[in-house]
């Protein structure tokens, strides 16, 4: 892609938009301007042209040669399309960064586990003496990585369906597909649209490249070579048994005593192992890196264990599939704390798992009434209003040997700014009530 002398419109003034603007300027764009529909928006770099409160009239009047979209903005809304009214191509920040990053890209997608896997891959690569940066949805925007001097050897790129909507030529060396389940139905009309957007991660890959895919995932028309893993079946290259990653009946990496010992995190570790093998790392080096890893917070994070009761913070669970994975991973009786914003998801799919493993559900937030109706037939369910009240109810009901699992199963935007604030609220409430 040659942007020399081109007029570039950047949509969205967040970190991705700012990274795209800096890269475009550094690579010789003739004119760069950031646009944001929010009148209260601000730009962190006063030297870059910026239009807050931008309208469709602003868009058509600017007449850009190339339009670069930040991932949080929908590609098919009238405001976005107005910027392409003169025929300008619409690409995402990931696509722009890909054209100017010259290292090796390992891309990770999936409904759940992306961030943990991205962070784990970065850690293992760095532990092996490689230069690597986590980027995309976690860490740096890819455009920032492309501007680094020198560029790192590896970009470990977490990609969402939103980012894949706006690729053209993007092609990773290795692509990881962790899992798929319905999500973001407040953005997509059909589950198929969400699936097809995520499938674009493989769109430009060739048959000599590698797709690392969880066993059981249906990916029609896949072109790159598929290598499988699973914590449920042993048909893939790697599988999970007796708290260890296994291969051909032998222990490859023991996970006992590590934060990755639960089944869903073991899958993240298996995907990481296969990706690192693909790019040339030794098994012993990979295993050592996995065992020394500390995951990002709010992902089945132990908060406390007191009076025989374990409290886990899984606030990063923003969809049903994530909560189902967290529930499946537990070996103790569960008190599940779930709830938040209504994203239009159907929660009945988790009922068989709750019937088997949970003895109580405490639900809260905007979706609480729906969850009462859904969970009550299979598990005693209590409704409260807030996370603090959910912690109090769990404390009253818990017995020694229980695990209190805070795994909301939906987004937090009815009561919080994001999953981090929600997780911190849970963590603080637990520490207060346990007096620790």
Taking only the tens place, the pLDDT of each residue in 295-327 is 877 888 889 999 999 999 999 888 887 898 889
Q: How confident is the model at residue 113, as a pLDDT?
A: 86
Mean pLDDT by 10 residues, the chain (436 residues): 96 95 98 96 94 97 97 91 96 98 97 89 98 94 97 97 93 96 64 90 97 95 97 94 96 93 91 98 97 85 92 90 85 95 87 94 96 96 97 97 96 91 96 95
Answer yes or no: are the C-beta atoms of 329 and 311 closer than 8 Å. Answer: no
Count CB neighbours of 221 within 10 A.
7
Distance CA 32, CA 4 (A): 11
Are residues 278 and 216 both part of a single domain? yes
Task: Assess if residue 149 is contained within a domain.
Answer: yes
Q: In what helix (H) or strand (E) does residue 154 lie, and over which residues does it extend?
A: strand 154-158
Distance CA 93, CA 263 (A): 33
Q: How confident is the model at residue 182, as a pLDDT?
A: 58
Distance CA 381, CA 363 (A): 7
Q: CA angle, 160 as apex, 114 and 316 as ends, to 5°?
A: 45
Task: Assess if residue 41 is contained within a domain.
Answer: yes
Are residues 39 and 156 both part of a single domain? no
Answer yes or no: are the C-beta atoms of 369 and 388 closer than 8 Å. Answer: no
Q: How confident is the model at residue 149, as a pLDDT?
A: 96
Its domain, for residue 79, covers 7-91
Distance CA 151, CA 97 (A): 12
For the sheet with 358-364, list strands across it.
Answer: 301-306, 309-313, 403-406, 334-339, 358-364, 381-383
- Strand segments (E) across 308-387: 309-313, 334-339, 358-364, 381-383
Q: How confident is the model at residue 39, as a pLDDT?
A: 95
CB within 8 Å of 65: residues ≥ 6 apart: 6, 7, 8, 88
Residues pairing with 50 in the sheet: 34
Q: How confident is the model at residue 178, as a pLDDT?
A: 95
pTM: 0.78
Tokens of 186: 């407040």
Q: How confident is the model at residue 183, as a pLDDT?
A: 58
Could you tell me the CATH number of the domain that includes residue 59?
Answer: 3.40.50.720
Q: How confident is the model at residue 409, as a pLDDT?
A: 93
Are residues 202 and 235 both part of a single domain? yes
Are residues 150 and 271 both part of a single domain? yes
Answer yes or no: are the C-beta atoms of 79 and 56 closer than 8 Å. Answer: yes
Are residues 172 and 267 both part of a single domain? yes
Answer yes or no: are the C-beta atoms of 359 and 335 closer than 8 Å. Answer: yes
Q: How confident is the model at residue 375, as a pLDDT?
A: 97
CA distances from 193 to 79, 158, 162, 187 (A): 21, 19, 11, 10
Are residues 282 and 330 both part of a single domain? no
Answer yes or no: are the C-beta atoms of 343 and 184 closer than 8 Å. Answer: yes
Task: Assess if residue 221 is contained within a domain.
Answer: yes
Are residues 272 and 418 both part of a single domain? no
Distance CA 234, CA 215 (A): 9
Distance CA 416, CA 113 (A): 22
Task: Assess if residue 425 is contained within a domain.
Answer: yes
Tokens of 111: 């409904």
Q: Cα 150 to the chain's mean position, in Å? A: 27
Task: Assess if residue 423 is contained within a domain.
Answer: yes
Are residues 282 and 306 both part of a single domain? no
């Amino acid at each position: 892609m040659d942007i020399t002398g081109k007029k570039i419109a950047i949509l969205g003034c967040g970190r991705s938009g700012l990274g795209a603007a800096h890269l475009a300027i550094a690579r010789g764009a003739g004119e760069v301007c950031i646009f944001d529909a929010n009148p209260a928006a601000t730009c962190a770099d006063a030297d870059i042209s910026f239009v807050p409160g931008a309208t469709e009239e602003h868009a058509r009047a600017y007449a850009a040669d190339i339009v670069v979209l930040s991932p949080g903005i929908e590609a098919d809304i009238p405001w976005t399309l107005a910027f392409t009214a003169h025929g300008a191509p619409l690409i995402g920040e990931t696509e722009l960064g890909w054209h100017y990053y010259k290292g090796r890209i390992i891309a990770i997608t999936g409904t759940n586990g992306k961030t943990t896997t991205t962070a784990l891959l970065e850690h293992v690569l760095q532990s092996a003496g490689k230069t690597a940066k986590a980027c995309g949805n976690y860490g740096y925007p890819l455009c920032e990585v492309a501007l680094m001097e020198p560029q790192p050897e590896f970009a470990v790129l977490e990609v969402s369906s939103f980012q894949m909507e706006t690729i053209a030529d993007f092609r990773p060396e290795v692509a990881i597909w962790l899992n798929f389940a319905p999500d973001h139905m407040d953005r997509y009309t059909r589950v198929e649209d969400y699936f097809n957007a995520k499938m674009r991660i493989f769109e430009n890959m060739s048959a000599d490249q590698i797709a690392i895919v969880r066993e059981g995932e249906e990916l029609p028309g896949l072109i790159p070579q598929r290598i499988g893993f699973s914590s449920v079946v042993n048909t893939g290259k790697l599988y999970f048994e007796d708290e260890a990653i296994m291969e051909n009946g032998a222990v490859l990496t023991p996970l006992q005593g590590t934060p990755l010992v639960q089944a869903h995190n073991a899958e993240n570790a298996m995907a990481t192992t296969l990706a690192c093998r693909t790019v040339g790392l030794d098994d012993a080096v990979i295993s050592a890196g996995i065992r020394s890893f500390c995951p990002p917070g709010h992902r089945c994070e132990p908060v406390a264990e007191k009076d025989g009761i374990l409290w886990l913070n899984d606030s990063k669970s923003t969809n049903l599939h994530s909560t189902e994975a967290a529930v499946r991973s537990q070996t103790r009786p569960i008190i599940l704390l779930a709830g938040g914003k209504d994203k239009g998801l159907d929660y009945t799919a988790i009922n068989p798992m709750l019937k088997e493993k949970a003895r109580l559900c405490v639900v809260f937030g905007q979706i609480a009434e729906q969850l009462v109706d859904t969970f009550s037939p299979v598990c005693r369910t209590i409704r409260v209003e807030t996370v603090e009240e959910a912690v109090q109810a769990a404390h009253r009901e818990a017995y020694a040997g229980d695990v209190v699992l805070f795994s909301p199963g939906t987004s937090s935007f009815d009561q919080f700014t994001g999953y981090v604030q929600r997780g911190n609220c849970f963590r603080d409430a637990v520490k207060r009530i346990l007096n620790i």
